[in-house]
Structure 1
């Protein structure tokens, strides 16, 4: 339940008021994902899929219950978001409408003794409208992904991606 609390506080900070959070659809999207993920972890997969389906039908957002998303998730204008089954988000991330986070035709990569095929997203990342992050890539801390960007390569900390893998950081501004 700690993740729900972090989601709530992150959305409250964005909204400017804790009371406004209950009126935001995106709080319920995150809550349904948290319930779905919990039910998946305790092996109640049919019930997990029910909450996944509610998110898809009610809000047009597809967050696989197998994704690992730590607290601090803020979804803004969420319609059309897709988050794949093996995505790892390490907290405090803002995701705008139309974002896709997922695999890239089965490509895999080994990091720290284990393989991964979908994005790993570190803390304090903002992913803009209709951005696509595909394959075994790592978005390090404090990364901004611009609208309509397509990311298929790692992005170093404190960088901004403005188009297809065009990375801006302090060295090339």
Structure 2
């Protein structure tokens, strides 16, 4: 299941054309929110620049916008990084296919006919601040489950310009 970030107001500074050819798929991986539930994909982005990864709140799109191009060129020649990148790209290709999913086996006649899922908020990852609590987390769980089952679900929600809001609990519990 593909969970794409459809946010044209967030252009890539490092566009797929400016990413080293060996790592061009990083843009595609960053724009598919399924990376957020794959430990290896998250680790791959983190290894590009751990400090920047933390400063961008684990947002791979921002990471790729801000990382020094020389760092990407260096990683494009690193055999260990490239092997990890190749595994992540293989995983992404499998993730985007509904070929062997429950939904494809159970409802083959409905493949390619998406279902719209409307919700005010979706809690997918903290780098996509379009949720505030329980409803968003539940909706995010529905998206993950639909993805696991291969249900062609299209999430339709609100893209908050500055995020929904941050909640913090003080030491005194307030």
The normalised TM-score by structure 2 is 0.27
Q: Which structure shows the bigger proportion of residues in strand conformation?
A: 1
Greater Rg by CA: 2
Q: Which structure shows the bigger proportion of residues in helix conformation?
A: 2
